[in-house]
Each structure stands twice: as C-alpha cells, then as structure tokens.
Amino acid sequence: MIKKRALISVSDKTGVADFVKGLAKQGIEIISTGGTKAMLEQAGIQTISIEEVTDFPEMMDGRVKTLHPKIHGGLLGRRDLSEHMEAMERHNIQPIDFVCVNLYPFKKTILKEHVTREEAIENIDIGGPSMLRSAAKNYQSVTVVVDPNDYDEVLSELASAGETTLLTRQRLAAKVFRHTAAYDALIAEYLTEAVGEKEPETLTLTYDLKQSLRYGENSHQKAAFYQNALPLSFSIASAKQLHGKELSYNNIKDADAAIRISREFDQPAVVAVKHMNPCGVGIGETLDEAYQYAYQADPLSIFGGIVVLNREVDLKVAEKLHQLFLEIIIAPSFSDGALTILSSKKNLRLLTLDFSKKSQAIEDEKVSVLGGLLIQDQDIMKEDVEKWQVVTKRNPTSAERTALEFAWKTVKHVKSNAIVVANSQQTLGIGAGQMNRVGSVQIAIKQAGEKVEEAVLASDAFFPMSDSIEYAGKTGIKAIIQPGGSIKDQESIDMADKYGIAMVFTDNRHFRH
C-alpha cells in the first residue's frame, strides 16, 4: 500500500512543527522545501526534499522548484478516475494527499517603509498559490491547509477516523480560494497603483474581517465589519478600543463621519455627531474651550451622540463628558484620571486614534448600490481662499471671513441639502438632508436662535432661488458663503445687497449624499 504524503512549505511557521509531527504520527510521509525543510529536520522530523520527488533541481533563486508535473500531477490526479491513476503510474507520479502551504509575505513586505519595487516583486509567490489551487480543486481527495488555525481540526479528524471528512476538505478548499484571491487582489492593487491606472477594466478589492456585528442598521439585518487589507491608520477600523461595549454598525458609521470632520482642524477641536451629521463643532485655544463650544452648539442633540476630540482628554474635560450620556468618545489619548472617570460608565466606548496620521487618510470612497459599486475620490480638496470671490457690494469683515472659513469646513460634512450657521468658533445651527434648500436654511437659523445676528451662513451648493437669502437677511445673517453657479445667481446677489449681506462664491460644491 502506498503511503500517504503531505507537502509542507510555509512562510509563517507558527505551529507547523507540531502539526507535521501529528501527520507523521499517522504514518504520513513529509515532503518539504528550503527553510521549512531545515526547520522540520531540526525539530527531529524526517522529510523528503522536493528534488527527490521531481528529480529536478531548484533553480532561479527558488523561483522554480514546485512547478513540476510530479507535484501538480500528484495534487490534481483524481483517485476515482482510472485513466488519471494509470497516467500517474505510467509517469511515476505518487499522489500527494495533504498540502500545508502559506505564501511569501507580500502584504508584510509592501507595508514596510521605503520598500523597493524589486523587493515587492520578489515577494510575489507563484509556486505556493499554484499548489494551493491544485490541491483545493481536488478537495475530494486532498486536504489543503493554508491557515494555522485549522491545524488542530485536521489532526483531530485524522486521530479519530484516519482521514478528514469531505465537508472539512471542502471548507478548507473554499478558504484556500478566498486566500489566493485576496493575495492576488493585493498584488493587482499594488501594481495597478504603481502604473497610475485610475479606471481599470476590472476592480479587485480585498478586506479582512475585523468584527462580526450583532446586527446592522436594524436588529433584523445581519452585518459584519471588514477592514482594508492594507490598514489605514487614521480610520475607525484602526482605532483602539480601551473600554465599553462592542461597536455596532451604526456606531461605526457615525464614528467614521465624526473622524472625517475632525480631520479638517489643526487647532484644538471637538466634533459631536448624531446620525452621521454634526450636531456641534467647536474649536478653541484649549480642548476645554473647544468642548464648551461644541456642547453649547446643541446641548440637546449631543445626547446619545459620538464625540471626537483631537487632543488628549484630561481630567477637566473628562468630568464634563462624564455628565452626558454618550455612545463613543474618540481621542488621541486619555490621561489616567480621565480614563478612570470615563471608564466608570460600563457601556461608554472609549477609543484612541493616531491623529498624527490624518494627512495620510486618503483612499477612494466606495458606495454599494444594487448590482454595483460607485467609486469616487474623497472630498478633501485644499481650498484656495484667495480665489474666493466676493460678489456683493459689501465685503465680509475679518471676523466674518474667519467664521465663513470655519463654516465652509463644516458644511461639506453635512448631508445635502446642507446649511451651517456658525461664528468663528462653533456651529450654531445645522440644517441637514432636507428636500429643498430653504427648508435647511430655516432649520439652521431657527436652531441658532438669538445668536444668528452674530453668525454667518454656509451652503454646500448654490441657491437656486433668492428665497433662502431673503429669509437669512430678515433674520439677521450678515455673511454667506456658497459655491455660486446658479442661473439665478444675480437674483441672490441682489437680495443679499438688499439686506447688506456680504456674500462669497467659492466655485466649489460640496454635496454629501
């Protein structure tokens, strides 16, 4: 009776010696290559070299060693087809029944700083994926293992039944094809980016499961959270959770929105978000001052919200945050005292994030639609305020211009139709997601209340009619910033002049659907 054989060739050698000892205990012969073979023999495990099987030397710095008919014939030959078995016997090909392979560390290589293109290319595995795919295709007869987490299950089945089950082999084969697909997708992404291809004829994306979620937007919807295969440091996916319940689907979306807004500000800033819209944004000389402005912007809506602070949370700010019911607090760090007081709330989620990496948070935005995927650049254009055009008789004052710049940074993160009423340090009123622009204007101004007379107004897109300008003028708004571009711009300009409003055109729209 021909002994069963296993082919072992791994880059990640975690647990492989114990796994192979378990295989050998079952009387399985071990074929191995290079560094894996040396490591196994050092562990006292007898192995057969690839050269002994193929009768052909390894060559080209290891590029060619397993791409051989005696390897792939042994993997692909169907045991249930006599013509396959006859061909194997005729060509002296012995079946290979187990494959344990993981691949050159391409991902780890390209994540290194200053990695060269040559180094990246040399870490593209060819033989490994080929062996995995051959073995996985023939899962009826071959057990293929790519993940060290599966070693114990394979050994357990061998110990109890002398072989693995068909269901296990099928499951492991599916994992192999996911693994090689993700590996190839990463290579394709790297090389596509290297040649500057912006709209490839096919799009290959790969993500790693970060977290299974209890449910999605609603309790009857299943959901999971996946992270980029090449992690983005300044992102909710890379945030470190220090305390509290697991993040929910809605928590993750809200936190992402808040993180994006916080990226706009270099000075101490605090952003409060509810349902993916800011409900309060404040900046100041200190974090405490910024927090006070953000809280006072909308003390009602911040309840149950998410707060992002771009400086370390100290005890003074933590004591104020502790007075509120919040879902999540995100900051670069928390002082010991702040962490102690905030951790006293069992369910409050506390996360840290590396704000020093915020300028590197650049990737395409992807939105699923039924049957497809929309992709666009992020809306992170650097505004040239010197090119903004004052179109009214009155110019904004220096204070008004500062407030307009603050409002313009914020309005781009509000769901369209979007209106932000603000002064130079805080939002005062936000109108989001209305079906007509004047509705958003009315909501934002009503929320600002008496403070509207010291405020400016920002609109993410042009005003199609002058009714919004008229409403703003009657309530006391003295300066407006908008993209311009409507065929009725002149009517809006005339209305602004009527009420002594200074109006600035930016020539850049910031819809957020």
> Phi first, then psi: what are they for 78, rounded to 5°?
-80, 125
- Look at residues 445, 443, 429 and name the one whose alpha carbon lies nearest to residue 298: 429
Q: Kindly state the tokens that stand for 492.
A: 């809006």
C-alpha pair distances (Å), 333 with each of 242, 319, 339: 10, 15, 9
> Phi first, then psi: what are they for 90, rounded to 5°?
-65, -35
CA distance 247 to 274: 15
Residue found by looking up tokens 């904004």 in the block: 396
322 has catalytic annotation: no
Q: Kindly state the tokens that stand for 68.
A: 């051989």
- Can you tell me whether residue 17 is helix, strand or coil? helix
* Residue 63 CB-density burial (10 A; 0-12 exposed, 13-18 middle, 19+ buried): exposed
- Look at residues 141, 68, 64, 63 and name the one whose alpha carbon lies nearest to residue 99: 141
C-alpha pair distances (Å), 108 with each of 14, 38, 103, 313, 501: 16, 23, 11, 33, 56
Cβ–Cβ < 8 Å for 331, 354: no
- Can you tell me whether residue 8 is helix, strand or coil? strand
Per annotation, catalytic residue among 84, 137, 253, 451: 137
* Residue 67 CB-density burial (10 A; 0-12 exposed, 13-18 middle, 19+ buried): middle
Provide the angle, in degrees to the nearest 10, between the axes of the packed helices 467-475 and 437-448: 10
Taken in order 78, 84, 85, 90, the sign of the CA dihedral is: negative
137 has catalytic annotation: yes
Cβ–Cβ < 8 Å for 197, 164: no
C-alpha pair distances (Å), 478 with each of 200, 363, 394, 426, 430: 48, 37, 10, 16, 17
Cβ–Cβ < 8 Å for 44, 19: no
Per annotation, catalytic residue among 21, 210, 275, 451: 275
* Strand spans (E) along 398-439: 419-422, 427-431
* Run of H or E including 482: strand 479-482
Q: Kindly state the tokens that stand for 508.
A: 């850049």
Cβ neighbors of 51 (< 8 A, separation 6 or more) are: 57, 58
Q: Give how far the C-alpha of residue 217 lies from the chain's centroid of Cα atoms, to the nearest Å.
A: 18
By annotation, the residues acting in catalysis are 137, 275
